[in-house]
Chain A
């Protein structure tokens, strides 16, 4: 059952590769995405016991990442049918197959309890994303792909060294190597401090560069800006969640050792720096897709701050992981539509989207309010939980800076988004044949509905899951 959910998308990738017709191939994506979603739900309701050896098991943290990625992927896959219909000039065999391989790797990240296996899956997501970013095959996209590939490969290689250090610290401590999460957490306090310390630093840098925490975020604006909208959504939602899950595994081990507090302080610092970077670069951004990349830097910063605060903020952090991924989905899919409608992503040309593409424009606007933390959407709740936890803990500096950056980012983002959505349509505008249709509007609309729901009412089972997962990180109520 557990292997089935990893292998199913791979089968889909094979099917997609074998279908010769570009138009028919696109339907493979939603088919397998929804099968994957159904299987995910079945696994959440009835979780199988750990595999022999304990490598594969779906614990609460893994469940959260899995359901979040599965929902996001399903939305992107449904959207892809409509989107690729507008891009019939480009062959999509590689895109469809790579998307499904990436889904398989993302699933493996969520279910693996062995850090070596988790690393392999994470590296696989990095590599499969490269051809997706390169979909447009032009000079700009190749530049973005190269930067992405190089920086993320190096980052993830550094994480591998961190893992080796961790494994070696178990050898030094008790003469027996293990990278199983359970045994690492159990022995965390006994591991050799020198090696453990080095391991945490390398793992933080490695996973941090993949997540895009400042100052390791430099690949992000390029990759997010040049990738097609649905790939951007998966990068900002799915891949960020995978890297975050890797970081959470390290966090679990750190919390069980004596070094938890130091690890948290570093995370808090990196989180605030990321938010500051985002606040500075968000302003006066003339490319609305690049702007979304800085928003992503901001939100991984928020996640890092929440992890750094710990305790009550952990529940908020996990809720924010879901909120951020889904809201980024809406932002990237709707901005992809606007990009198609104007054939440009420069704010000099793209104005008045609300009139030219009413649905996409409205969704983009609503998602902008959601992502900047306005009520009544989900991110408001999670950000509120995080900042109130900062004040409850008496960490006024962090809480105050957090609010200041949020305000600056709201202003910066508004100065780009509002003209794009509201402004007056320029007179000499290029004619394109994109019009909002159910195919390209319904998936982000459904996601937006979920975000709205999470803002006013979190279902009981999800609450219980979030609480269990926060408990895994050491955060009681």
Chain B
């Protein structure tokens, strides 16, 4: 079972690169959604069965795999854009930096011991690498929607680590965190909508009226 869990974590890492390397927003959204579904399935492989766990799995899959991608796709349709345009950090440099961050994540993770039941799993490096890739997308892209995708990637990275605690954390905390994320994305969707109406573009580099001289 644990080897399957590791393979899924590797899939998560590969999906990071799919997001880093593409300019098509729809592809990025699907990659992040798929990552969310993988995240939802993972805890069943590491923890023994319990209803608590079932509830978490279902809510993660529904929220990350269906609701959030739907919200973002709707924002994309409304704003009528398909691609990222002239990102601050190009796709090839993004991929290289992503590889570098993934390597660093493995070095960092080696210094943090896991509890005996999680020994040998890739949770920590996968979590930190995904977090860093999300950060890279957030910093490197121009479009507001790409930045939201970066934020989601970061959140996925954090959730990967949270899965280690899935059966230990109180349900209320998990549910609360997921609800906050949903509402947050919903509000971001609305703001994106207003940005595209106000500036007739989603280019956040145009949001520069408030710069310090």
Contact = CB atoms under 8 A, between A and B. Distances in A.
Interface of A: 114, 116-117, 119-120, 123-124, 126-127, 130-131, 134, 137-140, 142-147, 149-150, 153-154, 157, 160-161, 164-165, 167-168, 171-172, 175-177, 179, 192, 194-195, 198, 221-222, 225-226, 281
Given A146-B195, A149-B191, A153-B184, A172 B168 contact: no
A127 B161 contact: no
B168 A167 contact: yes
A396 to B, nearest CB: 33
Contacts of A145: 191
Across chains A and B, which 3 residue pairs bring their CB atoms closest together, nearest first? A116-B173, A177-B168, A120-B176
A130 B147 contact: no
B112 A117 contact: no
Contact of A167 (B157, B169, B187, B194): B169
B-side interface mostly: helix
B138 A157 contact: no
A127 B168 CA distance: 27
Interface of B: 111-115, 127, 131, 135, 138, 144, 147, 151, 154-155, 157-158, 161-162, 164-165, 168-170, 172-173, 176-177, 179-180, 183-184, 187-188, 191, 194-195, 198-199, 204, 207-210, 212
Contacts of A198: 112
Nearest to A172: B115
A448 B207 CA distance: 37
A142 B210 CA distance: 11
B191 A160 contact: no
Contacts of A130: 187, 191
A162 to B, nearest CB: 10
A-side interface mostly: helix
Contacts of A117: 172-173, 176
B68 to A, nearest CB: 14
Contacts of B204: 146
Contact of A157 (B154, B169, B170): B154
A439 B198 CA distance: 34
A119 B164 contact: no
A143 B203 CA distance: 11
6 contacts: A114-B173, A144-B210, A149-B187, A150-B147, A164-B165, A171-B115
Given A116-B169, A149-B188, A192-B113, A127 B180 contact: yes
Contact of B180 (A120, A150, A164, A177): A120
Contacts of A194: 111-113
A120 B171 CA distance: 13
Contacts of A146: 144, 191, 195, 204, 207
Given A146-B204, A150-B151, A164-B158, A171 B173 contact: no
B161 A161 contact: yes
A175 B151 contact: no
A180 B186 CA distance: 30
